[in-house]
Amino acid sequence: MPFLTNNQPGIGGQLKVEPEDFFVEEIPLYLPSGQGQHVYVEIEKRGLSTNAARRKIAHALNVSPHVIGYAGLKDTHAVTRQTLSIDGVAPETVETLSLPDIRILQINRHQNKLKVGHLAANRFVIRVRNVTEDALPIAEKTLAILAEKGVPNFFGQQRFGNRANTHRLGELLVRRNVTEFVAEYLGRPQPHEAEPAKIARQLVDEGCWGEALARWPSALSDERRVLVSIVRAGGEVEGIFHALDKKSKQFFVSAFQSELFNKLLAQRLDHIDRLQEGDVAYIHQNGAAFIVEDAEVEQPRADRFEISPSGPLFGPKMLSARGVPGQREETILAQQGLSKDDFAAPGLKIRGARRPYRFKLKQVRVWWDGGLFVSFELPPGAYATMVMAEVMKN
């Protein structure tokens, strides 16, 4: 992906050499009231994903992970602090928990379960290793530009999976191309994959469904369910989309939406902070959007970071841009041979949405203490890796 700060050199270096190099702390949207059926527990986890921590806690409490709510998914290769809500347990029971790589910080009660988005911001403290102190003024200058203009709101690599193909799977779902989806999802081994997975995927490529199932790695459980249904159907793949769980389908289509958004953002990068007639302006305070009729009139609001130009997450109910911005959106769909309505994939209620092309960088600090340290706050859903990519450019 291109950089907004191309006129600035990168500092290079490495991230996440140790989990402690990447610290993330949730800033809650609200504080627990002290009353209610849900236990709110603030944890600090090290080297664990949010879902892995939920599973560990659920197993220790003998409850389902589904009763444990969270406001956002946090990095695995990091030290992170976040709040979870747990239904059906007593605070005293939670206090007794002693789990590897999970530390209990605070316990309280509240009326509702935490859900994704119940979050004001995330605070990051990041160490960049293998750089010299000369990197400090460069990082300061780059971050100053980002604080003024905003950070490009690209979707990061996480969105596209460890096989870097979730957007491709989403595209095939949207196109209802079952045969190619199965080949991409279950076959086509990649060099970085473990040997058992490579062997099983190669057997899929050869049409040896039963042998592939016998060799299929247990860790790839979602894929295994699909493969089981193909074996039971005697190698027929036509009904496979029904065997794929709704959450996976949603994720794949979302990744395809994300890829198209990234392409449009790359086209807009040079004027990410400037409105154009026909833009769909995103209101940061409440997530609402409106068509910009007069860019000159609305630009002062963009300068104050109240609003930003936005890009499409294509879907049948999405508010489309007009004018030149609308033409860009129509062109990228035409290049794909698709329409907004095509994104209503089988079994999914995808409406479409707008996403701001930039996000605000707040509370920025940079310092040297035997290494380069950077801290800042980001809104929910924004990627810290996008900030550090601009700084490091490697």
Tokens coding 373: 């340290």
pLDDT > 90 fraction of the chain, expressed in percent and rounded? 90
The class level of CATH for 30-116 reads alpha beta
DSSP assignment of 18-34: SGGGEEEEEEESS---S
Residue 200 has pLDDT above 90, yes or no: yes
Exposure b/e, 222-259, CB count within 10 A at least 16 = b: ebbebbebbeeeeeebeebbeebeeebbbbbbbbbbbb
pLDDT in tens, 313-354: 999 999 999 999 999 999 999 999 999 999 987 678 899 999
- Name the pLDDT band for 199 (thresholds 50, 70, 90): very high
Q: Indicate the residue type of 389.
A: A
The mean per-residue pLDDT over the stretch 129-137 comes to 96
Helix 178-186 and helix 221-232, axial crossing angle in degrees, nearest 10: 130
Q: How far apart, in whole angstroms, are the C-alpha atoms of residue 275 and residue 300?
A: 10
Residues of the chain within CATH 3.30.2350.20 domain(s) are 30-116, 267-359
Tokens coding 390: 């601009």
User: Annotated active-site positions, please?
Assistant: 75
Residue 113 has pLDDT above 80, yes or no: yes
pLDDT attached to residue 239: 84
Q: How far apart, in whole angstroms, are the C-alpha atoms of residue 329 and residue 321?
A: 7
DSSP assignment of 164-201: T-HHHHHHHHHTT-HHHHHHHHH----TTS-HHHHHHH
> How many CA atoms are closer than 13 Å to the CA of 199, on its beta-carbon side?
9
pLDDT in tens, 276-322: 999 999 999 999 999 999 999 999 999 999 999 999 999 999 999 99
pLDDT attached to residue 250: 92
CATH architecture of the domain formed by 267-359: 2-Layer Sandwich (3.30)
DSSP, collapsed to helix, strand or coil, labels residue 394 as: coil
CATH of domain 166-246: 1.10.1510.30
Tokens coding 377: 């706050």
pLDDT attached to residue 322: 98
- Name the pLDDT band for 122 (thresholds 50, 70, 90): very high
The residue behind tokens 């300061």 is: 140
Residues of the chain within CATH 1.10.1510.30 domain(s) are 166-246
Q: How far apart, in whole angstroms, are the C-alpha atoms of residue 210 and residue 204?
A: 9
pLDDT in tens, 150-167: 999 999 888 898 899 999
Write down the H helix ranges in the chain. 50-61, 91-95, 135-149, 166-174, 178-186, 195-205, 209-215, 221-232, 240-243, 246-268, 295-303, 323-336, 384-392
The closest of 85, 13, 74, 84 to 47, measured between CA atoms, is 74
8-state DSSP, 100: T
Residue 121 and residue 27 in contact, taking contact as beta carbons nearer than 8 Å: yes
pLDDT attached to residue 349: 84
pLDDT in tens, 243-270: 888 889 999 999 999 999 999 999 999 9
pLDDT attached to residue 93: 94
Cα-based distances in Å from 317 to 199, 290, 291, 305, 343: 43, 14, 15, 26, 10
- Beta pairing partners, 311: 355
DSSP assignment of 209-268: HHHHHHH--TT-HHHHHHHHHHHHTTT--TTHHHHS-HHHHHHHHHHHHHHHHHHHHHHH
